[in-house]
Amino acid sequence: MKEDKKLSVSAIQNGTVIDHIPAQNLFNVISILGLDQITENLVTFGTNFKSDRLGRKAIIKVSDKYFKDIEINKIALVAPTAKLNIIKDFEVVEKREVIVPSEIVGIARCMNPKCITNNEHIVTKFKVIDKNGNVALKCSYCEKITDQQHLQIIR
C-alpha cells in the first residue's frame, strides 16, 4: 500500500505537502489557497487515498511554496484535520498542525444576507464555535451561525 501511495503523487524537493485533507474538501482547499490561480509553482494533488481517520483523504504538494499563518488559518475552516509537512531538500524539516483559531477575521462571509457585513464594506469577524463536532462560525456582528455547509471564503 505504501508503495502505491508514493507512486501516485511524486515527491518534491522543496515546498509544502498538505496531508490529511478530507477528500470531499480537496477542491475547497485548492480554491482557498488560490492554487487554481497559481502560475509558477508546480502543484500536484491526489485524492481518495484510504485513511483510517477520514475514510478518504486527499494530499496536495506545492513546490517552492511555504504558507503564512493566515493562509493556514483559512485551511482550518474546511480541513481542520490537515497536516502540513515543510520540505527542504526532499526532507521533512517541520511538521505543522492546522490550528483552528478562536477568531476569524476577514476570511469568511457571513451566511446571513441581512447581516451588516454583507451590506457595507466591513471586514467580517467571527468567533469559532463547535457545532455538533464541526467547526462553525458565529458572526461577531449579527450573531448568526454560519456552518460548514454554508461556508463561503472571501478571496
Partner 1 sequence: MKNKSLVSIDDYSKEDYIEILRVAAEFEKNPVQNILEGRVVATLFFEPSTRTRLSFESAVNRLGGRVIGFTDSSSSSVSKGESLKDTILTVSNYSDLIVMRHPLEGSARYASEVATVPVINAGDGANQHPTQCLLDLYSIQKTQGTLENLKISMVGDLKYGRTVHSLIMAMSYFNPTFIFIAPDELKMPEEYKLFLDKKGIKYEEHTELAENIKDSDILYMTRVQRERFADPLEYEKVKNVYILKNKMLDGTKDNLKILHPLPRVNEINTDVDTNHKAYYFPQALNGVFTRQAIMAKILGLK
CB of 106 to partner 1, least distance (A): 14
Instruction: Work out which of 69, 97, 103, 143 binds partner 1, going by CB under 8 A.
Output: 143
Q: Which residues contact 84 (CB under 8 A, 6 or more apart)?
A: 16, 17, 18, 19, 67, 72, 95, 96, 97, 98
- Contact set for partner 1, span 115-134 (CB under 8 A): 115-117, 119-122
- In angstroms, the Cα distances linking 41 to 8, 12, 56, 61, 144 are 19, 11, 26, 10, 39
- 142 makes contact with partner 1 (CB under 8 A): yes
CB of 118 to partner 1, least distance (A): 8
Binding interface with partner 1 (CB under 8 A): 110, 112, 114-117, 119-122, 139-145
